[in-house]
Chain A
């Protein structure tokens, strides 16, 4: 079986300094794969390169057998890849409902879109309560929920989440991961970039550990969770 997303020898450089030094990883259809690592390990650079926000310095990205290396972000949406950007990136001066509709920007089946917005409201009731509130006035956790809901409205086959737990209270992080699990259980393939290694590995099928731009460990999430090296480096011993 070929992987849904196949990354080979990916390199990212910022003016000569290599942030990603040729990494290989893949995501199979239906999996929840996580890429964990400390601050500055290159997690976000990897995701930026995958999502077309920056051009990789080398390597290839293949999605469903198609080379998507360097394809601009806006074109990826049509292929079924949605990005939930780092720092949430909600449209602050649009309300919750308008934010969700923006997620369906590249689609034009209006009735179906509205049905799916309702589905998001059922899945994340908190958003329904806030439907006419400006997104900028939501709490951090609510904004993250909104960003995920918005990404889902693009009907992605592959959802890429960039640090969804960043800056959130533990209780809120649990809620966010509940939503992520729910999305995964409904068949969306997920690539999760996370700093919170414990939580990420608990929820993922497989994991990769990124250190200074290289993948140092990889494997089954449960195995990684028990790996003494991972424990020492990321899980507080």
Chain B
């Protein structure tokens, strides 16, 4: 009986925490807004990273396929939006065309990557995916002068390293998110919801959708097959699992999430260039998955939040003024110090928590 009471008590505290976390998440953009809109942007980018990390987690954490070129799918999504909703081609499609299209094109790219690497594992797979990521970036970089063998004319598709500017924002049924929402009419004088804050809620919705999607997928028949594949490919085949199909599904689904995040990114940023989709970005997303706890959704979210917020927080801690106050002189350039602290933190996490900060309980 006492045990039952205890259980009830536990359930209640859990509930309280859950609600508190929910409220915090909802008011976070307004708290951040008080510090400045730059912080809201950081929150938004964090949400995108949560989506990216969740998508990569399906590939790396659940199915055990090391993918070092994941950012390519992010790029496909972002460029799909940018090319079809900007002044570049003077096309302005609505979001309900662009987001699904970008996600589908990214998934297609995922299948294109998956098909030739079906027989590769581990390091070999990592190298090929790394190459794939670079190919996509270099394509974006060089597709500003696409020539055809039978004519001298060149076509500017991606605008090369200059990137694409003047990208349309997200227009939700007549409400242009970038413009923000003026609610001062409703008795709350002087209270505005900024564009970035609106984006926060849209991104939050997509992030929650991704969490639900990934969770359901991970606990489905397909999810179990992915786990079997990760643990032992031959045994997985012996169980009757068509490893070829489920590998493609893993690449496809991971890419889909990445493409969706890419479209959202372009809609908020208003500017994309190949520079945003380099190898380092792929490694960063992978680090989120690994440091958080491969295959464990709460861990991956924690990893994404921590790793995207940490550099920004360190940026303030590593400020020149802080050094000036403590040492009287600026010893290390802030940017160098920032990278130093960040890398040190990553190393320390891996040393003391090799399974990640919040690994799935079954891996203990």
Contact = CB atoms under 8 A, between A and B. Distances in A.
B237 interface: yes
**Interface residue tally on B, bucketed by range:** 10 to 19
A70 B232 CA distance: 21
Contact of A95 (B228, B242, B362): B362
Question: Majority SS of interface residues in chain B?
Answer: helix
Contact of A78 (B224, B235, B240): B240
A191 interface: no
B234 interface: yes
A105 B237 contact: no
Interface residues of A, number: 32
Question: Majority SS of interface residues in chain A?
Answer: mixed
A89 B362 contact: no
Nearest to B360: A93
A151 B238 contact: yes
A132 B240 CA distance: 23
A90 interface: yes
Interface string A86-123: 00011111110010011101100000000000000000
A209 interface: no
A106 B232 contact: no
A73 B227 contact: no
B231 A84 contact: no
B227 A89 contact: no
B32 interface: no
The residue among B225, B227, B228, B238 with the most chain A CB atoms within 10 A of its own CB is: B238
Contacts of B306: none
B363 A106 contact: no
Interface of B: 221, 224-225, 227-228, 230-232, 234-235, 237-243, 362-363
Interface of A: 51-53, 72-78, 82-85, 89-95, 98, 101-103, 105-106, 134, 147, 150-151, 154
Given A74-B240, A147-B235, 12 more contacts: A51-B238, A73-B234, A74-B237, A74-B243, A77-B240, A85-B234, A85-B238, A89-B234, A90-B232, A101-B224, A105-B221, A105-B224
